[in-house]
Amino acid sequence: MKQTLSALICLFLLSAPSAHADLSLSGRSTVLAMGMQGVGQEGLWLRKTKLRRDLIDRGKAYTHLYDLATREITIVDHSQRLASIFAMSALNQDADARFASKDLKLDLNPTGRRHQLQGWNCQEFKLLAAMPAEVAGEKVSFELEGTIWLAKNSPEQTETAAFVKAAQEPDFFMGIPVLAKKSPSQAKGMSEVVRRLAPLGLLCAVDVDTRYQGSGRMAELSRKMASHIAVTYERYTTDLVKDEVFEIPRGYRVVRQ
């Protein structure tokens, strides 16, 4: 489920009308999948149309770089010193033929609960989203159900404006390449989630269950391996982010997919 986690984290960052500075967030995540639990630290850096996420997955360190100006996604595997670059247009090509915005079902309802994250006033929403997906070639529905906390009308929203504007382009893709190859409709559905939720605010936290629904054998098997994802941000800053934060480390092998 690391693909879904990455999509959720990146997707809910977007929202605002004008940009002035950089934005960085740090926090923690918990993922329960296939009976195994992983707990790690989260780091996000945003400058105009560039976004970086650092994560630990099963003991290995990765960096995900999204550049909406060049329309590229770079996945950096630090254990292999390898950077794989993907074009968003190529990742979208198959998904566009299989997914339409009407295919995404999304319900979002405020609960009335609130909490503070530094200067952010975070509001809790109940979330239920369903989108087409594939599991081993079998057509199913992928669902997210749980809660998200969003901060609306905070001054830091202005730091995301350039990214939000670039996200409106037709070849926008905000997900993980391996998911786009395995289930194009699900990957495109996650990108559609950002278009609908972006105006609502910045992500403070998310806590959701993920599952596949369907009548086939793979759907039944997947239901038995439902996953849980939780991300909580604990600190943010608008300090200047250095250019090298968004660069591939020197000496790493670079492969264009």
Tens of pLDDT, residue by residue over 58-93, are: 778 889 998 888 888 899 999 999 999 988 877 766
40: which 2 tokens?
A: 């790690």
* 114 or 173, which is more confident: 114
* 111 or 48, which is more confident: 111
79 phi/psi in degrees, rounded to 5: -70, -30
Report the interhelical angle of 88-98 vs 184-197 (nearest 10°): 100
Query: How many other C-beta atoms can be found within 10 angstroms of the C-beta atom of residue 182?
Result: 15
pLDDT at 169: 65
pTM of the predicted structure, to 2 decimals: 0.78
Quick one: CA dihedral 172, 46, 106, 33, positive or negative? Answer: positive
pLDDT at 18 over 90: no
